[in-house]
Amino acid sequence: MHSISLNIILQLIEALISISFYESIQKSEFKLKKPIAITIAYIIMCALNLMFNYNVVINIVVMLIFHFIFAKVLYKQSIRFSLFSSILMACLVMLAEFIVLNILNFINGETMRDFINNTYTYILLIVFSKSLLFVLLKIVSEIINKSRSNENVNFTFLVFPLSLLLILVNFVIICSNFKLPNNILLILACSSLFLIVAVIITCILQQNQAKKEQELLELRAIQQEQETNNTYFELLEHQNEELQLFVHDTKKHYRTLYDLSAEPEKLKKYIEGIVDDLEKTNQIGKTSNKLLDLILSKYDYICEKNHIYFEKNIHKSDVSFMADNDLTSILNNMLDNAIESAVKSNNKVITIGINKLGKMLVIDVTNSSDTPPLVRNGKLISTKKSAKLHGYGFKSICRTAKKYDGDLQWEYNQNTKEFTVSIIFPIKN
């Protein structure tokens, strides 16, 4: 029987895997008390297993109870999800052990028992099992998160976990086919322990970084919504002032129209001037989409204040496949970036187009830009002073475009000094 301290170490690795799983499906920020509670719980589970000599039934029951408590009490999940996660954990632990034992049986055959009885190869075997458990839980957590956000699963997150599995498989094969001295086996065992802990901690840090980025994107979306509302009210106030001035001048207009009644050409030009003034005070309600009208009106007003010519080529205003918050995020970020660049240029021009090409919807924004964008490894780099805090606008555009299977492209024309961002969405209905 292997030492108690060794079993505690291996249980702590499973605790680390559990922490990684629950943190990955939890939206709130990382709090140290939750991992500490899970670690203490695993030490208690280890003591109970030792007390009952690793009775399989007791082991499974204890695991089900504790993982239900983790999900329900620590991570505030629903009863249904807590039951699901506890059963899932127990099933995947047994599945991982079953798969690893069968792999070992296939590789070792008759010497399998000797492999398990050796302390160092036993460590390697258990780390292999826990690594497989970690990979399976990573896949499950990614599917859960993407189903919540209605996004496609991106399996690039498996690069580190699968690399770990590959290394451990090679370790097992080497130990099975060569009679290695104990000092070499000790190095392999310690290396496997170090690798699994390093990969899990790296994944946890990546998860926390991704959560922070998501929070920043959500805060930016809220800020943009507030800015849109503020601009909308400012625009309404501006239109109201223009309307009051127009009403004030109505009497004068009537008198002038009466005086020009005998001169048709002058009368026509005067009426056209009045109509132009009315058009300028009626910027809201140009398309069939109210939210799109509001966004375009906002940037009409902002561009006017910044002396930017804002051209709109809207031939397709049906963007109903996109949620309002996503449409706001895409257009606000695209136009905010365009204004930031155009206001520094000599030409000061922005053009937005929304058009249908076959079964594709194309949204493109072109702005004047006297200097080419900064690019690193094929990615745009923020030119703002605090690039780590900024640059989330373009990330938000990419994230939202990907959510609707959109293809984002950009180009800079050195001759015309224009920067264009285009998003092509498939129209599925």
Give per-residue pLDDT as tens, 129-188. 999 999 999 888 888 877 776 666 667 778 888 888 899 888 888 888 888 898 998 899
Distance CA 132, CA 365 (A): 46
- 241 burial (CB, 10 Å; 0-12 / 13-18 / 19+) is exposed
361 φ/ψ angles, rounded to the nearest 5 degrees: -110, 125
For the stretch 42-57, pLDDT in tens is 989 888 888 887 788 8
Give yes or no for a contact between 203 and 19, defined as CB atoms under 8 angstroms apart. no
Helix (H), strand (E), coil (C) string for 305-316: HCCCEEEEEECC
26 φ/ψ angles, rounded to the nearest 5 degrees: -100, 130
Q: Residue 181's Cα: distance from chain center in Å?
A: 48
Closest by CA to 418, choosing from 362, 341, 320, 360, is 341
| 92, two tokens | 């995947």
CA angle 399-151-420, nearest 5°? Answer: 30
Give yes or no for a contact between 349 and 367, defined as CB atoms under 8 angstroms apart. yes
| 268, two tokens | 């026509």
Distance CA 17, CA 9 (A): 13
Q: Indicate the domain borders of the chain.
A: 4-221, 288-429
Give yes or no for a contact between 23 and 75, defined as CB atoms under 8 angstroms apart. no
Amino acid at 174: I
| 29, two tokens | 């920020």
Give yes or no for a contact between 104 and 112, defined as CB atoms under 8 angstroms apart. yes
- 314 burial (CB, 10 Å; 0-12 / 13-18 / 19+) is middle
pLDDT in tens, the chain (429 residues): 456 777 788 888 889 999 888 888 876 666 788 889 999 999 898 888 888 877 888 888 999 999 999 999 988 888 998 999 899 999 999 999 899 888 888 877 656 677 777 888 888 888 999 999 999 998 888 888 777 766 666 677 788 888 888 998 888 888 888 888 989 988 998 999 999 999 988 888 887 777 777 777 667 666 666 666 666 666 666 666 666 665 656 656 555 665 666 667 766 676 666 666 555 544 444 566 777 887 888 888 889 889 999 999 888 777 888 888 788 888 888 998 899 899 999 989 999 999 888 888 999 999 999 988 887 766 776 665 444 445 567 778 888 888 888 999 999 999 999 999 999 999 876
For the stretch 51-79, pLDDT in tens is 887 788 888 899 999 999 999 998 888 89
CATH superfamily name and code, 288-429: Histidine kinase-like ATPase, C-terminal domain (3.30.565.10)
